[in-house]
C-alpha cells in the first residue's frame, strides 16, 4: 500500500480522534479495555502512513516497520520492544474472528489498563513528532493538550464514537456502504457518489467532498445487512446535526431535530435474512459529524458493523428503491 496524494494534516487529525476514542474507552469503567483496540490499530495505521508512506501487513517484525527513523527516535529505546508487543496484540485483535461469527472464538488478551495508557502516551509522542515535522515546532503545552499526554483531558461523552474518517491507504473501491452527498439540505441536486468503509465521519467545518459545501448539505448511506439468525440489534447514531436510521423502509433511530453532537439509539428485533439499512444526515451549520455503530450481543458495546455482515448495494439505484431486494 503506497502513499497517494491526500491531506496529511487531515490524517493527523483523524489519528488524534482515534487516540481520543481509545483514551475514552479505557477510562470508562463500564467498557472492557479491549474495545479500545480497533481505535489504537487505526491510529497506528495513520501514523505509519504519515511516517513511512505505507501501512504494514500485520504487525511487522518491529516498530521500524511502522516508523521511519525520525519518528522512531520519539520512542525511548528501552520501550520499543514492549510498545511493539502491545501493537502486535492490537493487530491480532483487529484480524480476530468476531464472536458473532464464531461463538467459541476468544479474542487475544490485551495488557493491563496501566500498560495501555503508557502505550497511548508513547503513540501520542510519535504524533507530536509528526506534527512538528508537518507544522513546525509546537509549544509543549499545546502538544500535551492536543495529543493526550494527560489522559484525563480526553475523557468525555460522544468522543468514544469518533472513528477514523479519512483512510487514504484504503482502496476507494472497497467498503460495503454506498454514500451519496448532496449540495442541499433536502437531498436535491446531483449527488457525489462514493463507496465507504463505514459511516464514521468527523468533517468539523469542512464539506464531505470537494464539490459539497461545508454547511447546508445532506448525505445518505445505504448497505445490506445479512443476519444468519433472528437477532436483537442495538443501533446507535452519534451526529451533529440531524440524522436518522432506516431499517427496511422504517425509521428506527429518529434524531431529526437540530442538535449539537449527541447520541441516540434503539434496540430492534431483526429476522434472519438480508435487510436494507439506510442512514440520512443533514448538516445545517457549524461542525459536522456522524458515526453509526451497532451491537449484536447485549454484552458487547456498539461498534462499527463488520464488513462480513454487510453486502454492497451497488452504486446506481433510485432513492426510493430497496437495493437489497433480491426478488
Q: What is the mean pLDDT of residues 232-256?
A: 94
Question: What is the tens place of the pLDDT at every residue in 215-239?
Answer: 999 999 999 999 999 999 999 998 9
For the cut 60, the answer to whether the pLDDT of residue 170 exceeds it is no
Distance CA(325)–CA(225), nearest Å, equals: 12
Query: pLDDT grade, residue 11 (50/70/90)?
Result: confident
- This prediction has a pTM of 0.55
Q: What is the DSSP string of 57-68?
A: STT-SSGGGTS-
CA torsion sign, 304 to 308 to 314 to 320?
negative
Distance CA(37)–CA(116), nearest Å, equals: 10
- SS3 per residue for 21-50: HHHHHHHCCCCCHHHHHHHHHHHHHHHHHH
Distance CA(209)–CA(182), nearest Å, equals: 10
Q: Which domains does the chain have, with CATH numbers?
A: 8-161 (no CATH), 177-311 (2.60.120.260)
For the cut 70, the answer to whether the pLDDT of residue 58 exceeds it is yes
Q: What is the mean pLDDT of residues 68-84?
A: 91
Give residue 21's pLDDT.
78
Give residue 281's pLDDT.
98
Q: Under a CB-based contact definition with an 8 Å cutoff, are residues 12 and 130 in contact?
A: yes
For the cut 50, the answer to whether the pLDDT of residue 146 exceeds it is no
Query: pLDDT grade, residue 51 (50/70/90)?
Result: very high
Query: pLDDT grade, residue 164 (50/70/90)?
Result: very low
Grid cell in block for residue 272: 434472519
Amino acid at each position: 500500500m503506497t502513499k497517494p496524494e491526500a491531506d496529511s494534516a487531515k490524517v493527523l487529525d483523524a489519528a488524534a480522534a482515534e487516540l481520543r476514542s481509545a483514551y475514552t474507552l479505557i477510562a470508562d469503567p463500564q467498557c472492557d479495555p479491549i474495545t479500545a483496540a480497533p481505535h489504537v490499530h487505526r491510529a497506528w495505521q495513520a501514523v505509519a502512513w504519515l511516517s513511512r508512506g505505507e501501512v504494514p501487513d500485520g504487525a511487522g517484525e518491529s516498530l521500524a516497520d511502522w516508523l521511519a527513523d525520525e519518528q522512531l527516535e520519539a520512542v525511548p529505546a528501552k520501550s520499543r520492544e514492549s510498545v511493539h508487543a502491545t501493537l502486535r496484540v492490537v493487530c491480532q485483535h483487529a484480524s480476530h474472528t468476531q464472536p458473532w461469527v464464531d461463538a467459541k472464538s476468544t479474542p487475544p488478551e490485551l495488557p493491563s489498563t496501566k500498560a495501555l495508557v503508557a502505550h497511548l502516551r508513547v503513540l501520542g509522542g510519535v504524533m507530536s513528532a509528526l506534527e512538528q515535522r508537518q507544522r513546525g515546532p509546537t509549544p509543549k503545552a499545546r502538544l500535551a493538550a492536543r495529543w493526550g499526554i494527560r489522559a484525563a483531558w480526553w475523557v468525555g461523552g460522544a468522543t468514544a464514537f469518533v472513528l477514523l474518517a479519512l483512510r487514504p491507504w484504503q482502496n476507494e473501491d472497497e467498503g460495503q456502504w454506498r454514500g451519496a452527498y448532496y449540495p442541499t439540505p433536502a437531498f436535491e441536486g446531483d449527488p457525489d457518489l462514493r463507496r465507504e468503509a463505514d459511516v464514521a465521519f468527523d468533517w468539523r467545518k469542512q464539506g464531505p467532498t470537494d464539490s459539497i459545501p461545508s454547511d447546508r448539505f445532506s448525505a445518505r448511506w445505504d448497505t445490506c445487512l445479512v443476519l444468519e439468525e433472528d437477532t436483537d440489534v442495538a443501533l446507535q447514531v452519534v451526529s451533529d446535526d440531524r440524522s436518522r436510521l432506516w431499517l427496511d423502509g422504517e425509521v428506527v433511530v429518529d434524531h431529526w431535530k437540530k442538535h449539537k453532537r449527541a447520541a441516540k439509539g434503539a434496540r430492534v428485533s431483526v429476522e434472519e435474512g438480508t435487510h436494507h439499512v439506510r442512514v440520512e444526515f443533514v448538516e445545517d451549520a457549524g461542525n459536522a459529524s456522524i458515526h453509526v455503530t451497532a451491537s449484536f450481543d447485549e454484552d458487547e458495546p456498539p461498534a462499527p458493523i463488520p464488513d462480513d455482515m454487510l453486502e454492497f448495494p451497488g452504486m446506481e439505484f433510485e432513492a426510493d428503491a430497496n437495493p437489497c431486494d433480491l426478488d
